[in-house]
Copies of this chain bind each other. A is one copy, B any other.
Amino acid sequence: MNENQCDLCELLPKLDPIFETEHWKILLNQDQGYLGRCFVTLKVHKSSLSEINDAEWLDFSTAVKKLEKALKQAFGADLFNWSCLMNNAYQEESATPHVHWHVRPRYSNSVAFTGLEFSDPEFGRHYNRDQRLKVEKDILSAIKKEIQDNLG
């Protein structure tokens, strides 16, 4: 496992985040099936949660608070599903997992935003991996800006 072979290490510096903390970069997911869905990605290459050090955990806590608050304020999210899986990395012959979190805000009510209706028909149950929504770039930008405007 080597950061030199890690796609995420190469990609990460090129991506413009919603916001970042000292150790984590918060990026909007292109899939907005769950409005405000994003990634929280460790800036350095570490391959499991066991490798996260104290400073990175405390900084993660800061990121969690800031992001959850902004998503509540921006869109009225009721709950957040957090997961750190890293399965896909193991599809390669030589796996180079890089710690990142998937964040899916969950909604008890539908949300109208940018002329679109975002709904969460399975609120109260496990996220549906087939609930995907590819939106135009200007919609992605508007979602990102709305979250940024609520970072406080």
Contact = CB atoms under 8 A, between A and B. Distances in A.
A129 interface: yes
Interface residues of A, number: 35
A39 interface: no
Closest 10 CB pairs of A and B: A83-B83, A90-B124, A91-B124, A82-B84, A50-B68, A81-B85, A50-B65, A57-B57, A49-B64, A57-B61
15 contacts: A48-B68, A49-B80, A50-B69, A54-B58, A57-B61, A81-B83, A81-B86, A82-B83, A83-B83, A85-B127, A88-B125, A90-B106, A90-B123, A91-B124, A91-B125
Interface of A: 48-50, 52, 54, 57-58, 60-61, 64-65, 68-69, 78-88, 90-91, 97, 106, 108, 123-127, 129
